[in-house]
Amino acid sequence: MLTEKQIQERRLGIGGSDTHHLLNERPYGCQRSLWYDKRSVKPDYPLITTGIMERGNDLELFVAKFYRKTTGRMIRRHQTRVHKKYSWARANVDRQIIGVKDKDGPGILECKTSGREMFYKIKSEGLPIGYVLQLQWYLWITGYAWGSYAILWPDSWYPDGFLYFDYDRDDELIALLEEAGSRFWRAVENGPTPGRLDPGDKRCSKCSFRTQCQGLALLQSVESNGEIEVDNTIKDIVELVVEAKELQDEAALLLKNRKSELMDLVGSRQAVDCDGYRVHAKPIVSRRFQSKLFKSDNPEDYKLYLAESVSRPLKIYPK
């Protein structure tokens, strides 16, 4: 958990963990939310520090240890760095990597922990864009040519739950971050406030600034023929629906990652037996009607086959 001193220090400029906000990068990035934070605007809802967050901080030493054990590379602690040209561009780096013969100078090491689902997602798809942006930000500020990300899934521990990735400096991406950071910090100092995300965006539902940012916009986004009735008898079931939707999203991600894990184990085999189950993974060729292409090529014929239907989609907006 960040101390008050650390919180105030972070408000002196833009750090690596802020970079996904600069570009409104999903799933959590929001430039407007970051602007509120840097301007020390009081949030509507306090940020709750979970045990998972604190676990990540406490396990940083182990992640660094496993990285050194796996790679044989020497690492050491690294002080906070500030860009030579921009005082608002800051880097709180986890570790510095030194003495690697096949690399151009020292490198940056970032240490992360993750849950099972995220671990397998990273293993199959690579690092999330937010992690890549953070590392490139640090390479820009330090002037280094390369860096590494080390990921630990604590429940599995070492070595099965450990991954690392080397990344080279990407000057094109760094130029994009420099431009976005410069523009954003001017807005922090002089305005204007960055634009809002769409009121229906999932990122807004749990944002600490959601009421003062989106409250009016959310109400305006709901079409109504008159005054909206207030009925607090539905509040309990609304919260249950929201909770169920979150569980559904988590279950969908869990199922996707479990299937990916299973496919890795099955490999190229088309059928595999185990106690109580038979798993099929045979290639299937399917044919689907390309409605968008048909509409583009035959707009008049497409209209002839349209049938009107009426529905009442249920949408819930946070206030």
Q: What confidence tens digit (pLDDT) does each residue in 138-190 have?
A: 999 999 999 999 999 999 999 999 999 999 999 999 999 999 999 999 999 99
Span 92-120, average pLDDT = 93
Span 246-255, average pLDDT = 83
Whether residue 49 has pLDDT greater than 70: no
Of 67-81, 117-131, 214-228, 286-300, give the lowest mean pLDDT range.
214-228
| The predicted structure's pLDDT at residue 239 | 83
Distance, C-alpha 143 to centroid of its chain: 25
Span 50-59, average pLDDT = 76
Whether residue 221 has pLDDT greater than 60: no
| The predicted structure's pLDDT at residue 245 | 83
Do residues 30 and 207 touch, judged by C-beta distance below 8 A?
yes
Q: Pairing between strand 107-113 and 95-98? A: antiparallel
> Quick one: what percent of the chain has pLDDT higher than 90?
54
61 versus 316: the higher-pLDDT residue is 61
Beta strands in the chain (DSSP E): 74-76, 81-82, 90-91, 95-98, 107-113, 146-152, 162-168, 271-274, 277-280
In 3D space, the residue among 201, 244, 238, 243 whose CA is nearest the CA of residue 316 turns out to be 238
| The predicted structure's pLDDT at residue 224 | 47
pTM confidence score: 0.70
Span 255-284, average pLDDT = 91
Q: Predicted confidence band at 225 (pLDDT cuts at 50, 70, 90)?
A: very low
Cβ partners under 8 Å of residue 181, min gap 6: 14, 22, 86, 88, 89
310 versus 258: the higher-pLDDT residue is 258
Alpha carbon distances (Å) from 76 to 73, 82, 201:
10, 19, 41
Span 35-59, average pLDDT = 82
Whether residue 30 has pLDDT greater than 60: yes
Name the average pLDDT for the chain: 88
With tokens 């944002």, the residue in question is: 207
Q: Which residues pair with 95 in a beta bridge?
A: 109
Domains in the chain: boundaries? 50-189
Q: Predicted confidence band at 217 (pLDDT cuts at 50, 70, 90)?
A: low
Q: Domain 50-189: give its CATH code.
A: 3.90.320.10
| The predicted structure's pLDDT at residue 4 | 62
